[in-house]
Amino acid sequence: MSLSDRERILLELETGWWRHAPDKETAVAQTLGLPMSQYHAELNRVLDRPEAEAAHPRVVRRLRRLRDRRRTERSARRTA
């Protein structure tokens, strides 16, 4: 199964939102009409799809590393 147009847009925003708006929140709102919380939820779902990595390997791997690092840090704070 391939990525939908919306999924492609989510990944493309991560590759160059700064070219389209002064900040990421504005770029997301202008492009997709989403609040940041919903944008991140959708983006995280897309990052788990093999098709996403095939389409944008560097971006997807970078975002997965950041996501994993944040999860580890939150977990460490909870146990400390």
User: Residue 67 corresponds to which tokens in the numbers above?
Assistant: 């996501």
Task: Report the alpha-carbon distance of residue 18 to residue 22 in Å, rounded.
Answer: 6
Residue 39: CB atoms within 10 A of its CB come to 20
pLDDT of res. 21: 77
Mean pLDDT of all residues in 67-79:
90
Q: Residue 17: which residues within 8 A CB-CB, separation 6 or more?
A: 24, 27, 28
Please, which pLDDT band fits residue 1 given cuts at 50, 70 and 90? confident
Range(s) of the domain holding residue 20: 5-79
CB half-sphere exposure, 42, CA atoms < 13 A = 20
Q: Is the Cβ–Cβ distance between 49 and 2 less than 8 Å?
A: no
Overall pTM surpassing 0.95 (yes/no): no
Domains: count for the chain: 1
Q: Is the Cβ–Cβ distance between 31 and 23 less than 8 Å?
A: no
Decide if pLDDT at 60 tops 90: yes
